[in-house]
């Protein structure tokens, strides 16, 4: 999910290599099972905007609504993010 970049930086200091390995393994599992993986956990216009968040982890309702629409578009059509807010890691 799209945590604020400040939280991502803190987590990267503690878990950077582990987090990268975790994403990699999730993608491997998803590909074996024909599942899709959509990644929002990186620096993007969404995660750099303070007003999108209540705190570094919890995003506001309009963000949740946009995520729901993005998931539908990404899963249904395989369309990449127009504004760079998510990446499709496995289709």
Supply the pTM of this predicted model: 0.82
**84 Cβ neighbours under 8 A, 6+ residues apart:** 44, 45
pLDDT digits (tens, 9 = 90+) for 28-54: 999 999 999 999 988 999 999 999 999
pLDDT digits (tens, 9 = 90+) for 74-89: 888 888 888 999 999 9
6-10, 49-53, 55-59 — most confident range = 49-53
Q: Which pair of tokens denotes residue 59? A: 């995003």
Rounded-to-integer distance, Cα 43 and Cα 69, Å: 20
Extents of the domains making up the chain: 5-90
């Amino acid at each position: 999910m799209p945590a604020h970049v400040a939280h991502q930086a803190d987590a990267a200091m503690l878990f950077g290599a582990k987090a990268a390995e975790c994403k990699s393994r999730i993608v491997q599992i998803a590909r074996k099972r024909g599942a899709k993986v959509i990644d929002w956990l990186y620096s993007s216009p969404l995660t750099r905007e303070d007003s999108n968040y209540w705190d570094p982890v919890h995003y506001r309702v309009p963000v949740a609504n946009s995520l729901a629409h993005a998931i539908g578009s990404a899963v249904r059509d395989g369309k990449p993010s127009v504004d760079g807010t998510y990446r499709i890691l496995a289709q």
